[in-house]
Amino acid sequence: MKDYKPKPLPFDELMSLPSFSLPNLSYDKKKLAFYYDKTGRIELYVMDLETKKIEQISNGEIPRAPRTGFVWDRKAENIFFGKDAGGNERNDIWSIDLEGKTKALTETPTFQEHAGNVSHDNEWITFMSTKSGQMNVHKMKLDGSEDTQLSASDVPVYGGLWSSDDKWIAMDTNEMKTNLENDDIYLYNNETGDMKRIIRITEDGSHDNFGDWAPDSKSLAFQSDASGLTQVGIYNLETEEIKWLSDGKNIEYVGRFCPEGTQLAVLENYESTIKPLIYNIETGEKTELKIPSGLAFGVQWIDCTKIIFFYSSDLARPEVWLYDLTTDKYEVLLKAEYGSIKKTMFTEPEYIKYKSFDGLEIPAIVYKPKDLPEGVKLPAIVNIHGGPTGQYFRMFDAFMQYVASEGFVIILPNVRGSTGYGTEFRDACIKDWGGKDLKDALYAAEYLKTLPYIDPDRIGVGGGSYGGFMTFLAVTKEPEHWKAGFAWIGISDLFSMFEESMPHFKYFLQRQMGNPIEDKDLWYDRSAINFADKMTAKLLILHGINDPRCPITQARIFRDKLLELGKEEGKDFEYIEYGEVGHGGFGDIETRKKSIRAMTDFFKRSL
């Protein structure tokens, strides 16, 4: 075996490169607001689209790692955002004007709230809140007065988008008690207070979700996965007829109407890429943008000939582009920075498919160091995404680029349960977390062993959130396959997690894994804490103390169990807690750097 000396990318510079997120056009199409961490933390900025001048609006008022969005008022004077404490996601709704003056509109420190949509008369804002005992839709005046609860459901209700005449407010929820894998579309009558269901594609259950109102409010765009692939349609409020735009060949997600209502933007998800499509509403004709393959999303219309969207690819950091549909040319509105790092220093990942235990092909993305000489044998990591209804995309990933540059091969499998490959694939692990999906992860490791540059005795597993859950299970229920594991913000005991969860998180867990009483044997079998005595791999546990999705107790009880079993901290496992950090905290540069450095150094020591 040849000696191999990795050529690491400059860690501090790479991880400190500033990033944009959540670009949001004002309703007059003259301003673009976005989050930006150029100062070292996320702040709110606004670009004047005519002059391209950018101004920082906030100064520390925005959460360091926000997990909620923001919305404009109709006059482009104020922005409404969610603010939590230390990453606990118990957001209040705040407003900030373009001079930076802020005001708390709600004060609910024990509940979670998200800004929704401002009415066209600029008098009201909808928001979602758990203060009724479940996530429901409310409205209030823009100054925070006259809070009115609009929905009253014991299952989560999402949405709150106003029709142009402010008569209707659209929402998604599920009243199908026998099938939690279902969403229907409802309209709330703002004049009478009545709620009516308008779309349920099938009585067998499907995810039917509102997208956007047509400018005249006579129709709306929505998406449904009833066919097995998410498809986009137009619903006519007067005739109650549906016109399908999607042709059923690939997954398509609903986007927004252009200002004149003649076109609709949608997003096509195909083989871990996302590309915008533009549909002509009248003819159904579809136009594809002439852009490189990658991840392009968040389409917003300036007029019916120009759109903006977020773009990233394997080797290109995220940017915001302005695209002219008449010329098929684009300009970069928000340009990515690279510092002294040249794009040629990055490794180009490979999109592959490998066969799992039953012959099903599992899509995956593989990173390896650049310019590998023949004869080397490298350690490898199976890294599992969160969700489970998530997906790895072919986009720029600084985390994976750096780990690969340190001499590791990393495979990112879209195991069963992932989105992007149809409903059968997505729902394959309902009431089976840690079953077929874990086998898919094991077979990712088996695939790695077939590569000539992999040392089969130095394979690790890692992941965050659901990926952390899978890591805990992998090292306890399949210990012989792994030399090391990294459980980041993971789940080790489903029962205790359920008890501590917010109501809408409880609903998601029941949707995915059933009932903790009726399915207690399953929940016991898929809780890694019950099999901690089987662990042989060295394990790093990393968690934020304010995590509301996978509470810190999930890490602490597993650590305590290992100590009870006679394992030694520092020898058999390593344990790190971060204060004032929630579910991951990757939106904050310093937390991101600490986490990636801890994981990389751990695998360098252990593999």
Question: 51-104 pLDDT, tens per residue?
Answer: 999 999 999 999 988 999 999 999 999 999 999 999 999 999 999 999 999 999
Confidence of residue 530 (pLDDT cuts 50, 70, 90): very high
Residue pLDDT, tens place only, 213-229: 999 999 999 999 999 99
In this prediction, residue 516 carries a pLDDT of 97
pLDDT at 28 over 80: yes
pLDDT at 178: 87
Give the length of the chain: 607
Report the alpha-carbon distance of residue 410 to residue 369 in Å, rounded.
10
Among 373-377, 471-475, 502-506, 581-585, name the one with the lowest average pLDDT: 581-585
CA triplet 430, 436, 440: central angle to 5 degrees? 130
Predicted local distance difference test score (pLDDT) of residue 2 = 67
DSSP 55: E
DSSP-assigned beta bridge partners for residue 266: 254, 277
**3-class SS of residue 78:** strand
Percent with pLDDT over 70 in the chain: 100
| Average of per-residue pLDDT across 327-339 | 97
What is the rounded CA–CA span in Å between residue 104 and residue 91? Answer: 11
| Confidence at 4, pLDDT banded by 50, 70, 90 | confident
What letter does residue 207 receive in the DSSP assignment? B
Residue range 336-362: mean pLDDT, rounded = 98
CA torsion angle 478 427 247 261 (round to 10): -110
The closest alpha carbon to 321, from 304, 341, 306, 342, belongs to: 306
Task: Determine the angle formed by the axes of helices 398-405 and 589-606, rounding to 10 degrees.
Answer: 30
pTM (predicted TM-score): 0.97
Give the model's pLDDT for residue 508: 96
The predicted-structure confidence for 448-488, as pLDDT tens digits, reads as follows 999 999 999 999 999 999 999 999 999 999 999 999 999 99
Q: Mapping DSSP to helix (H, G, I), strand (E, B) and coil, where does residue 404 land?
A: helix
Cross-strand partners of 267: 253, 276
pLDDT at residue 556, as a whole number: 98
Mean confidence (pLDDT) of the chain:
97
Q: Average pLDDT, stretch 333-344?
A: 97
**Domains of the chain, earliest start first:** 343-606 (3.40.50.1820)
pLDDT for residue 3? 77
Which residue do the tokens 């971060």 mark? 578
- Strands (E) across 237-337 are located at 242-244, 251-257, 263-270, 273-280, 286-288, 295-303, 306-313, 316-324, 329-334
- The four Cα atoms 182, 183, 189, 190 give a dihedral, to 10 degrees, of 130
User: What integer pLDDT is reported at residue 177 of this predicted model?
Assistant: 86
